[in-house]
Amino acid sequence: MPPSIVPHVRSILAEQEDGPSSLLAVMEEVQSRYRYLPRDVLILVSERLDIPLSQVYSVATFYNAFSLKPQGRHKLQVCTGTACHVRGAMQVLDRLTTQLGIQAGQTSTDQEYTLETVNCLGACALGPIVVADGEYSGQMAATGVDRLLKRIKHKA
Domain ranges in the chain with CATH number 3.40.30.10 = 74-155
Q: Is the pTM of this model over 0.95?
A: no
Q: Report the alpha-carbon distance of residue 150 to residue 9 in Å, rounded.
A: 34
CB 16 within 8 A of CB 25: yes
Per-residue pLDDT reduced to its tens digit, 23-44:
999 999 999 888 999 999 999 9
Per-residue pLDDT reduced to its tens digit, 67-96:
999 999 999 999 999 999 999 999 999 999
Partners of residue 78 on adjacent β-strands? 117, 130
- Residue closest to 67 by CA, chosen among 31, 113, 112: 31
Q: Report the alpha-carbon distance of residue 138 to residue 124 in Å, rounded.
A: 9
Q: Please name the residues in contact with 83: beta carbons below 8 A apart, sequence gap of 6 or more.
A: 124, 125, 127
Please name the fold of domain 74-155.
Answer: Glutaredoxin (3.40.30)
